[in-house]
Amino acid sequence: MEPIVEAVQLCKTFQLGEVAIEVLKDINLTIRQGEFVSIMGPSGSGKSTLLYLLGGLDKPTSGSIKIRGRELSVMRDREESVMRRRDLGFIFQFYNLIPNLNVEENIMLPILLDGRSLKLEKGKLERILEEVGLADRRYHTPRELSGGQQQRVAIARALVNEPDLILADEPIGNLDSRTGTEIMKLLQRINREHRKTILQVTHSQEAAGYGDRIIQVRDGKVWEGHDEASA
Ligand code: ADP
Ligand code: MG
């Protein structure tokens, strides 16, 4: 399958005053269309940093990132933010919903930000609510929902622009194990039936088991497969 994300010689250093923290050193990786890939590794190893770089939420110190063959660094700011909104969906550990908007408004936010008419997208909203199992919760606010339901809203919001690629940072990291399994099954269905490429960061072997392959991050480097240290 065609590459959807390609990183070449990716480096990221955070400068904290005098101190340089070299988090990612010369990373090369390719994610192909339709894959479900898990990024694993110790806490603080740079998993979130890698995910955010690949989604254009942060900029590398050096190296290249291409999304569907288009180099991120040469995109203009506006082009890049449109690309992020239309081609990528993000899911976070703590859901990142807007507390004073209801379920339906949170889901439709990317459409609003894109300046499109909510009316025209009503059918889509109903399909997505059905898909994530929230048809009877559309007027609730996040505070009135369980963690699992809030993550379903976040997943619906990530899907609303029909992006090809979904990036998820510890999507079940804040959920109990039964709810986590439900969310993983939903993500698996989105990958298999809706043919979305999914790149997730996870600590959980079980969650990684829903994916096709694992990328390990440690000491600034990446490699494929299960962690050598814990094997
Ligand atoms: P992980 O997700 O694997 O736990 P992160 O990618 O969040 O790790 O962080 C990797 C390292 O980079 C950590 O040492 C962290 O403190 C540092 N780091 C992450 N983001 C920043 C930032 N914005 N400024 C400075 N240091 C950062
Ligand atoms: Mg992290």
Within 10 Å of residue 73's Cβ, how many Cβ atoms? 13
Query: Which residues have C-beta within 8 Å of that of residue 216, sequence separation ≥ 6?
Result: 39, 40, 41, 222, 223, 224, 225, 226, 227, 228
The count of C-alpha atoms lying within 13 angstroms of the C-alpha of 217, restricted to the half-sphere facing its C-beta, is 28
Going by alpha carbons, the residue nearest to atom 14 of ligand 1 is 44
Q: How far is the CA of 165 from the centre of ligand 2 (A)?
A: 19
Q: Are strands 3-16 and 88-91 parallel, antiparallel or unpaired?
A: unpaired
- Indicate the pTM of the whole model: 0.94
Amino acid 83: pLDDT: 83
Report, as an integer, the average pLDDT of 106-115. Answer: 91
Residues 24-69: pLDDT tens digits?
999 999 999 999 999 999 999 999 999 999 999 999 999 999 999 9
Is residue 16 within 6 Å of ligand 1 at its C-beta? Answer: yes
Q: Are 67 and 24 in contact (CB under 8 A)?
A: no
What architecture (CATH level 2) is domain 3-225? 3-Layer(aba) Sandwich (3.40)
Q: What is the ipTM of this complex?
A: 0.98
Is residue 47 within 6 Å of ligand 1 at its C-beta? Answer: yes
Task: Give the start-end residues of each E strand in 76-145.
Answer: 88-91
Domain boundaries, the chain: 3-225
Is residue 20 within 6 Å of ligand 1 at its C-beta? Answer: no
Q: Are 23 and 220 in contact (CB under 8 A)?
A: yes
